[in-house]
Amino acid sequence: MENTQFASAVHIVVAIALAECLKTSDHLAAGIKAHPVALRRLVSKLTASGILISHRGKFGGVQLAKTPSEITLADIYSAVDSQKAVKCREAEKKCPTSCSVQVHMDKISTEIEELSLTHLSHISIEDFIKGM
């Protein structure tokens, strides 16, 4: 199954950064073709991480908690995506090859994750918008 949480979260943050007013979850959900409940889960994660501020009520919506130059793609990735980029099936305990492969794949996965986060930490939402 494809995980689009990171891409969707970046889309949300960029849309809010470009907006001149509060954005509602229904408006944002339509923009990323997501169910409003799924979008609210992402907004909740981004809010808990200090990336967004959520205002409740009839005239509520969400806005950035920081300037676009202060929010990095690594911040967003860390807020919403807890899955590793490379996964390995659980090792078959009776198979020495399976156990060895899993150990090495886990190490590679950790290295990929660290490299990805380092790269993403150098890209702010402001940079991302300039590159669009």
Q: What per-residue confidence (pLDDT) applies to 81? A: 77
Residue 124 has pLDDT above 60, yes or no: yes
**Per-residue model confidence (pLDDT) at position 106:** 81
In this predicted model, what pLDDT tens digit does every residue of 16-61 receive, in sequence order?
999 978 898 888 988 888 888 989 999 999 999 999 999 988 888 9
pTM above 0.75, yes or no: yes
Q: Which domains does the chain have, with CATH numbers?
A: 5-130 (1.10.10.10)
pLDDT in tens, 63-92: 999 999 999 999 999 999 766 656 666 766
For the range 62-67, what are the long-range contacts, defined as Cβ-Cβ under 8 Å and sequence gap of 24 or more? 62/16, 62/22, 62/23, 62/24, 62/25, 62/28, 63/16, 63/22, 63/23, 64/13, 64/16, 64/17, 67/126
